[in-house]
Amino acid sequence: MTNYSIKNVSWDDIVKLSDKIVNEINARNLQIDTLVPILRGGLPLSLLITNRLKNVETSCIQIRRSMSNDANADFGKPNFLGITNSNQIVNKNVLICEDIIDNGESLNLAIKEIKKYNPKSITIATLFNFNKNKYKDAISGVKMKEYYWIKFPWEV
């Protein structure tokens, strides 16, 4: 178990952060063809983004790192469990959607697997970015100043 303070996040918070992310995508004039959420955490963000962007496809990548679904659960090495609809990645502008970027291990693995399908470009969107150094160009809902355990509204 880790011992971080827990920060509860509401659905309203998630919607506001996703709106901020979509505004940044539009401000950068990014062409996004395919959203690739990292399951499970990236799925709600990708659903909210899909609602606002036009003509985007979806593929999903599953990577598991947490040892359980409990708050402050320990993490292990990220494991790639599969990818769906991979034909939507080939030669496309991909937006990887993630809930949290911390040490970047899951994201690194996702990028490595997605690159196997030769996308035109890969952009990253995350609700909470704790790794502002390595992923400073990620489109972030918020760049965190200190580490918290984020408890999302879909976590019981």
- Residues 85-114 have pLDDT tens digits of 999 999 999 999 999 998 888 899 999 999
pLDDT of residue 135: 86
Partners of residue 124 on adjacent β-strands = 96
Alpha-carbon distance of 18 to 53, in angstroms, equals 12
- What's the predicted TM-score (pTM) here? 0.88
The CA-atom distances, in angstroms, between 142 and each of 20, 87, 88, 114, 124 are 9, 31, 28, 25, 13
Report whether 30 contacts 21 (CB < 8 A).
no
**What are the residue boundaries of the structural domains of the chain, listed by start?**
6-151
Distance of CA 87 to the CA centre of its chain: 20
pLDDT at 68 over 60: no
CATH class in words for 6-151: alpha beta
- Residues contacting 126, CB < 8 A, separation 6+: 45, 97, 98, 99, 100, 101, 135, 138, 139, 140, 141
Beta strands at 34-39 and 93-101: parallel, antiparallel or unpaired: parallel
Task: List, for residues 19-66, the tens digit of each pLDDT value.
Answer: 999 999 999 999 999 999 998 889 999 999 998 998 899 999 998 776
Cα(92)–Cα(113) distance, integer angstroms: 15
- Residue 72: predicted pLDDT: 45
**Straight-line distance from the first to the last Cα atom of the chain, in angstroms, rounded to the nearest whole number:** 18
| Alpha carbons 43 and 156: distance in angstroms, whole number | 17
